[in-house]
Structure 1
Amino acid sequence: MNTTLSNQQISFYQQNGFLVIDQILSKTELASWREAVDEAVKQQIDQEGTHNQNRGESYYKYVFIQCVNLWKKNEKIRHLALDPRLGKLATDLTGVNGMRLFHDHALIKEPWANPTNWHLDNPSDPYYTRQATMFWLTLDDATVQNGCLYFLPGTHQTSRF
């Protein structure tokens, strides 16, 4: 896992609120993560169905399939999510001494799914701290054509935009 950061990368993250780390996982690690997530998502979908958001809004239900807290149900995901290298990466970026896992969140964007609207993640979480961070690891290639993630630099300093 490529978690070594330069001072320039840390400064960029702290100023902009995001950082792209190309190939953070080796090819072997990426294959292992894909296998573990596929297995855990299938297990949860088999138990709860494909649209397991538990929300009534029909548009939102068809944006993506999401499975939360797989680390609590699947040993492989627990091992990956609690990898100390990710914790160190989080503390290096935020400048704090320790970090807790709030949750993992597998998002599966199916072909022709509804688009995801612009949003801020942290204001909807049940905690508030400017030291919180999230890792978004794409297990499949994310491109402009298939729906990559966009960031608005600096929005980590506000609760709305």
Structure 2
Amino acid sequence: MRSIKPRSKSRRRRGNRDSGAKTFLSDQMGLPVESQQTDMEVETAIERFTSDKYGVVYHSRVPRVVGGLRVAFLTAGDCELEFLKNFDPSHGAELRHGAAGNTRQDQGAITKFIAAYGAGLHHVALKTHDIDVTLAAMERAGARMIDRTGRPGSRRARIGFVHPTSFGGVLVHFVERD
């Protein structure tokens, strides 16, 4: 049997330096849906991700109106896919502006995104325990901010966005949930 000698203290210290990096877990990925059809279009997009041919364990929820968007979430493993579609009030659903979770300004952002890039990946959301602390830390680190403080998001979350220029073209969205 071979004995293992412990490393010297100085070597151990070098290997254990705190790099200042924080651990963030993925909360969701947002995917705009281009069609102006009814919820059937969103259900079709979800079916593409949840069919048995991908071997994905999933849980989907009924699409609902959040601010100016119709939103459907699908859980795949530890990550959620958020399908976003502009809401057309002629379809009869009720909008409740000003209630917790409404983000009316996001409707314009999704419209602009689809016009520029078409349907596809819109944002990556990362979980945080304190949205305001996280956003302040991002700004101190030199990130270009869309939100400097948390604002209401879907499902009673507080959210904040960092501009895509700070993450190589990817829109990053931090999420704080109770």
Larger fraction in helix: 1
> Structure 2 length as normaliser, TM-score?
0.25
> Structure 1 length as normaliser, TM-score?
0.27
Larger fraction in strand: 2
When Rg is computed on C-alpha atoms for both structures, the one with the higher figure is: 2
Structure with the greater relative contact order (CA < 8 A, sep ≥ 6): 1 or 2? 1
